[in-house]
Structure 1
Amino acid sequence: MNARTPSDRERAGGERTVARHGWAQALVTVLGGLLAMAVVAVLGLWAAGADGLPDGGFAPVVAATLVAAVGGTLELSGSAGDLADTQAGLTVIPLSVTLTGALVFAWGFLRPLRHRAVAGAAELAGWAARVAALWLLALIGLTLFARHTFDIPLGNDELAELGDLFGASPRIGFTTDVPLSVFVGMVWLAGVLVIALLVSRGAPLPGGLLRFQESVRPAAYAMVALLLACVVIGLVVALVVAAVKGHARETFAVILLGLPNLMWLALTIGLGATWNGRVEGPFGLPMPHVLDEVLRTPDISELNLRTLSEQDGRVWWLLVVDVVLLLAAAFVLAARSPARVRAWQHAVQMAVALALTVFMICLLGRLSAHYGLSVLGIGDLGGSLAGELFLRPRLWGAVGLAVPWGLVTGFLGALAARHVRRRGEVDAAGPG
């Protein structure tokens, strides 16, 4: 007796059921992502000492951190009376918060799609649109709430008296560029959802895109696994350092706000990439002390394996770690690909995927911050009232280095995976 198959009416009823509950599932996804990001941001800012901000500034700073985590733009402004001027700027993405939100959003988006082989383009678009609509409302609320103004202490009694005399008590505030931040936040969500579909082998795709999954999905999965492995290694090292050397609160601030910033930077440096940067004034980097030593010079410094190893020879271990991680990623790529894919094709896929990954790291890992106070347009009042910090990659050099790394490790990974049973292989002996 043939098994009963669902009729068109039953299938249509099932689709209506999914659609009827789609908004509730979308709400859970968005609230879950926001809550996870907020928890990480709150704990990280608390560990960094931001809980002591005056005038109820902690909550707006948390909101600003969430906006920055999805690529939003923060605008800093200052005032110091009629005779003084303040300048400030900040560009940084707290990637620990970003990564947390991306993982939760991806899980929530994929969960209703599990156990499906194929999904129509309209169905996927409708499900993504529900998540995006609620995320849009959340983004607007965050960007409007992320604004505050603080008084800046002048550092000592003489400067404070001078500030009172000239009416130059400085204040600095921050707001968000609402239209730009909302637009970039929506692009961030779209990127997260697309990557989630590419990475998950069990997520359904429209029939017209199925032919791309064998070439794209293994590479996307391997790159996400590579990035997450870097973060896990960094987490283990940070916890060991916190246990052995102390400074637990500062270490947890780095873990909860900027661990991927540090580890993905280290990944590119291990490949041979160079970053340019400079630290001036009281700024401190949420990174190992060796980076601060290299960057705290009068001129723009180069940050790479050579300059770092001059301060600490152990930096060369980054090269060894990169070799191991890239070979492992290439092996995963080959093992998840069909058996008919040739070694040179794996090499090309790995090179393209790694180049795109390094490109993304270079875009997300940039940071800059500066502030200063001047009176009557003459200089800065004291070193404690001025500072600059920036770090930016030599983008195309880093991307160019990723290509040969990907070709070599991709080919070696394919050779290592030859004896792994993969899709498309059959037993030589045939059915027995």
Structure 2
Amino acid sequence: MSEQGAGDRSGTARSAAHGWGDALVMVLAGLVVMAVTAALGLWAAGATALPDGAFPRVVAAVVVMAAGGTVDLSGNAGDLARTRADLSVLPLSVTLAGALVIAAGFLRPLSHRAVAGTRELAGWAARVAVLWALVLIGLSLLARQTFAVAVGGPTGTVISDVFDASPEVGFRADVLLTLVLGLIWLAGVLVLALLVSRAAPLPARLVRFQESVRPAAYAMVALLLAYVVLGLVVGLVVAVTRGHPAETFAVILLGLPNLVWLAFTLGLGASWEGRVDGPFGLPVPHVLDSVLRSPDISTLDVTTLADADARSWWLVVVAAVLTLSAAFLMAIRSPARMPPRQHAVHMAVGLVLTVLTICLTARISAHFGLSLLGIGDVDGSLGGQVTLRPRVGSALALAALWGLVTGFLGSLLGSRVLRRGEVAG
């Protein structure tokens, strides 16, 4: 009984070390980083010129989407006109910034310990979740606004002058759905943080899995971050040498991972399909926009990109080098006794899950249209659409193949490196 009482007091003391105060600081830090990143990106994109002081509400909407929430678009053009609007996109730069800060704050009180109790971890996560839920509710209530749409051409003139109906489009965050999806997003961030960090403790029942899971998880996160760093360097060079720095920084601050992780899957041989139509487009390199801007759905892969720019073949080279580097990193963080075939399987599973995550988060769907008296298509001259979605089955199959090959090769390369805790013979 005395040992159990001592254990309870020890657990209470450990829990007090990361209580509500630490949870509040962590949540506020994540919120501030996400809001600042979104605000700077929107400022670079020119969103400060929006009417009615809507800029803070747009920032809130971007943060809601970045945290996995849902923002619904609505349109109105009076009784005689019809509008349609929808938007589904994750600003992954904002998502990544918030995830890194929240993960670091979650792990800080847990570092340099071998084991943590399930109750302790659950209590720490619950505190964070409660405060994050309050943040999501506040952002959802703030993220709502309606704008008048400036239209031109004969249809727009008739609507505005004759029928006295000004087209409007607005957005409104779905509070309940944002709360549910945002908490799922937070749970994913916290679980991934525990899986990636070598210093973070695990419950005793899960310790036996860390040798097989943690090296692969760490390698996959390092691979994704390496692509982001490489894309950041390229973006800064483009901003300095080719002009239009504001547009480039807007892409960097809002959607850099969307582009570079898409490029990663293309380098693995995956195919996407999409279309860019109307006055709206993707803030992407010209070669990508030219492939997608066609009357029908276009196939996006390395071959179609190379038809427009032969330098696109470098995507395959970069993917091969960085994926093999990730496999090598996984190997040197794994026990030396692990055979190469097991490395290959772990790498394949990790890469399949990584590519699946990219396929689910990097897809884009945006649409706006306007018609008069039900005549004509809402996708006409006053509308536009942007779609980009992956061919998931082939992408996952290619990821499994790349994982098996690079995992095996990475194990062979890693066998020549002295692991932590080993003694040279």
5 Å-filtered alignment, 1:34-45, equals: 34-45=31-42
Q: What SS class does the counterpart of residue 230 from structure 1 fall into?
A: helix
| Counterpart among 13, 16, 22 of residue 12 in structure 2 | 16
Deviations 1:318-361 (A, max 9, x none): 00000100110000000000010011111111011001100000
Of 382-391 and 110-119, more deviation after overlay is shown by 382-391
Contact 1:82 / 1:167 at 8 angstroms: preserved in 2? no
5 Å-filtered alignment, 1:184-195, equals: 184-195=181-192
- Structure 2: distance between partners of 1:242 and 1:154: 31
- Code of the residue aligned with 2:135 in structure 1: it is A
Q: Identify if the C-alpha distance between structure 1 residues 345 and 158 changes in structure 2 by more than 3 Å, giving closer, same or farther.
A: closer
Of 367-376 and 157-166, more deviation after overlay is shown by 157-166
Deviations 1:10-35 (A, max 9, x none): 76555434433510000001000000
Contact 1:358 / 1:399 at 8 angstroms: preserved in 2? yes
- Structure 1: distance between partners of 2:297 and 2:374: 25
Q: Identify if the C-alpha distance between structure 1 residues 56 and 337 changes in structure 2 by more than 3 Å, giving closer, same or farther.
A: same
5 Å-filtered alignment, 1:168-183, equals: 168-183=165-180
- Code of the residue aligned with 2:342 in structure 1: it is Q
- Code of the residue aligned with 2:47 in structure 1: it is A
Contact 1:79 / 1:85 at 8 angstroms: preserved in 2? yes
- Structure 2: distance between partners of 1:115 and 1:354: 29
Residue 251 of structure 1 deviates from its aligned partner by 0.3
- Structure 2: distance between partners of 1:319 and 1:346: 22
Contact 2:369 / 2:379 at 8 angstroms: preserved in 1? no
- Structure 1: distance between partners of 2:335 and 2:323: 20
Whether 1:302 aligns to 2:311 is no
- 1:4 counterpart residue number: none
- Name stretches of at least 5 consecutive residues in structure 1 with no aligned partner: 1-6
**TM-score with structure 1 setting the length:** 0.95
Contact 1:339 / 1:424 at 8 angstroms: preserved in 2? no
Residue 239 of structure 1 deviates from its aligned partner by 0.3
Residue 57 of structure 1 deviates from its aligned partner by 1.1
Whether 1:61 aligns to 2:64 is no
Residue 38 of structure 1 deviates from its aligned partner by 0.3
- Structure 2: distance between partners of 1:305 and 1:42: 33
Contact 1:340 / 1:424 at 8 angstroms: preserved in 2? no
Residue 426 of structure 1 deviates from its aligned partner by 3.5
Whether 1:88 aligns to 2:50 is no
Q: What SS class does the counterpart of residue 391 from structure 1 fall into?
A: strand
5 Å-filtered alignment, 1:399-414, equals: 399-414=396-411
5 Å-filtered alignment, 1:198-277, equals: 198-277=195-274
Residue 161 of structure 1 deviates from its aligned partner by 5.8
| Counterpart among 338, 349, 360 of residue 352 in structure 1 | 349
Q: What SS class does the counterpart of residue 280 from structure 2 fall into?
A: coil
Contact 1:280 / 1:389 at 8 angstroms: preserved in 2? yes
Contact 2:83 / 2:378 at 8 angstroms: preserved in 1? no
**TM-score with structure 2 setting the length:** 0.96
- Code of the residue aligned with 1:20 in structure 2: it is A
Q: Identify if the C-alpha distance between structure 1 residues 408 and 381 changes in structure 2 by more than 3 Å, giving closer, same or farther.
A: closer
Residue 164 of structure 1 deviates from its aligned partner by 3.0
Deviations 1:134-160 (A, max 9, x none): 001111111111110000012369834
- Structure 2: distance between partners of 1:300 and 1:347: 36
Contact 1:277 / 1:303 at 8 angstroms: preserved in 2? yes
Whether 1:145 aligns to 2:142 is yes
- Code of the residue aligned with 2:184 in structure 1: it is V
- Structure 1: distance between partners of 2:29 and 2:415: 41
Identity, % of aligned positions: 64
- Structure 1: distance between partners of 2:245 and 2:251: 10
- 1:49 counterpart residue number: 46
- Structure 2: distance between partners of 1:149 and 1:16: 50
Question: In angstroms, what is the RMSD of aligned CA positions?
Answer: 1.8
- Structure 2: distance between partners of 1:18 and 1:219: 29
- 1:131 counterpart residue number: 128
Question: How many residues end up aligned between the 2 structures?
Answer: 423
Q: What SS class does the counterpart of residue 385 from structure 1 fall into?
A: coil
Q: What SS class does the counterpart of residue 16 from structure 1 fall into?
A: helix
Whether 1:284 aligns to 2:281 is yes
Q: What SS class does the counterpart of residue 119 from structure 2 fall into?
A: helix
Q: Identify if the C-alpha distance between structure 1 residues 158 and 324 changes in structure 2 by more than 3 Å, giving closer, same or farther.
A: closer
- Structure 2: distance between partners of 1:188 and 1:162: 42
Of 380-389 and 138-147, more deviation after overlay is shown by 380-389
Q: Identify if the C-alpha distance between structure 1 residues 382 and 176 changes in structure 2 by more than 3 Å, giving closer, same or farther.
A: closer
Of 299-308 and 8-17, more deviation after overlay is shown by 8-17
